[in-house]
Amino acid sequence: MSEKVKIAVAGTGYVGLVAGVCFAEKGQNVICVDVDEKKIKLMKSGKCPIYEENLEELMIKNYNAGRIDYTTDYKMAYKDADFIFIGVGTPEKSDGSANLDYVYEVSKQIAESIEKDCIVVIKSTVPIGTNDKIEKYIRENLKHNVKVDIASNPEFLSQGTAVKDTLHASRIVIGTENKKVEEKMKELYSNFDLPIVATDRRSAEMVKYASNDFLALKVSYMNDIANLCEVVGANIEDVAKGMSYDERIGNKFLSAGCGYGGSCFPKDTKALHYLAMQGGYELKTIKAAIEVNKKQKLILLEKARKKFATFKDVNVAVLGLTFKPGTDDLREAPSLVNIEVLLEEGAKIKAYDPIGEENYKKIYKNEIKYTKTPQEALKDADICFIFTEWNEIKDVKPSEYKNLMKKPLVYDGRNIYNVNEMKNIEYYSIGR
């Protein structure tokens, strides 16, 4: 961009904080806003509130360079900003719809605070048509005589690789309703040197949902095929390999397992399904993905039921708590629903996760014994469940299950071992 602009970012979670830090890394002046004073102090001290590779070092680098700061004073942050990015959460409601309370709360603050013309950019994942509603809402609640335009700019980051996914994105999607705003957004992203897809706002909103839901559908399809492979005696890994050479299919998201989790796939599939139903249309493919995933999360317990009528007083080793490696996020993690059932039945659980322990303690502080190594969790266990494919878990040797457990009985929800390597152990995986 020819000259620096002031960017304000509302929200310091995965979406907002990563966006703010990456804009600062590209030379812009950024101020991140959050209501949590403890969180702001933590970030000012150089600590990252979330576990994300390379994020903390970029925070420190750009804070020391004076390109990024953090505040709870939204009025100061918004009043003279050129761009205000909304990156707050849109959590799932009980009916599956997206909760937009935080988006509207920030929009109200923006409307009351801005004192110059600016572009408000919605980066949060929001239902189709939300940008139109927010534009109307902000314009109706303005306290000063300024011009405001709204742009949609959905994120496509994956937790664990969020910084890389932002700085080296496959594409940048920009949704606007006029060319001037589109050009300003393109100029803002000119330093990124990435492909830009420019469209209208509703199409941009749909690109986000359609992309995430397609990937969720792909995962659920492979899990469905994996379950059938067990019935007919096929090997899902060989099937996936054979499929991967087809360029129309690709080699990503073909791994079978015990279901997807995280902050995106579960929420976004339900939100789009809800939106369609509200419009009188049923997305049958998305509905199927939701149903398959819900059942898949309990696939290991179903297998284990053949050995245990109840888990009362059974010593259970749980390896992996987060929904995937590389993050401390527990949202919709398969471990949650399984551990809930195990505890209800009176199991004695020892669990290991290299990063997720502290977050898990917020849910189960004393009900579970947490260990510092996988081996400690396995010692004297009657059964082991693997829910996350951390490298620390992959490094556990097959012989260690045999030597440490009372009886080596392993249920692997991520297919981290070669079946032949585990031939001296009672070992169950997905689709093999």
CB within 8 Å of 399: residues ≥ 6 apart: none
Exposed / middle / buried, residue 415 (Cβ in 10 Å: 0-12, 13-18, 19+):
buried
E runs forming strands in 290-371: 315-319, 348-352, 369-370
Longest dimension (CA), the chain: 75
CB within 8 Å of 292: residues ≥ 6 apart: 220, 221, 223, 224
**CA–CA distance, 35 with 28 (Å, rounded to integer):** 23
* Secondary structure of residue 119 in the 3-state scheme: strand
In this structure, the chain runs to a length of: 432
The continuous run of DSSP H or E covering 172 comes out as strand 172-175
**CA–CA distance, 339 with 30 (Å, rounded to integer):** 41
Pick the catalytic residue: 22, 32, 264, 384?
Answer: 264
- Give me 297's structure tokens: 């999360």
**CA–CA distance, 363 with 387 (Å, rounded to integer):** 17
Side chain identity at residue 293, one-letter code: N
**CA–CA distance, 342 with 304 (Å, rounded to integer):** 11
Side chain identity at residue 260, one-letter code: Y
* Secondary structure of residue 233 in the 3-state scheme: coil
CB within 8 Å of 261: residues ≥ 6 apart: 297, 323, 324, 331, 332, 333, 334
Asked about 264 being catalytic, the answer comes back as: yes
Alpha helices in 245-388 (DSSP H): 265-278, 284-296, 299-304, 334-344, 357-361, 374-378
Could you list the active site residues? 264
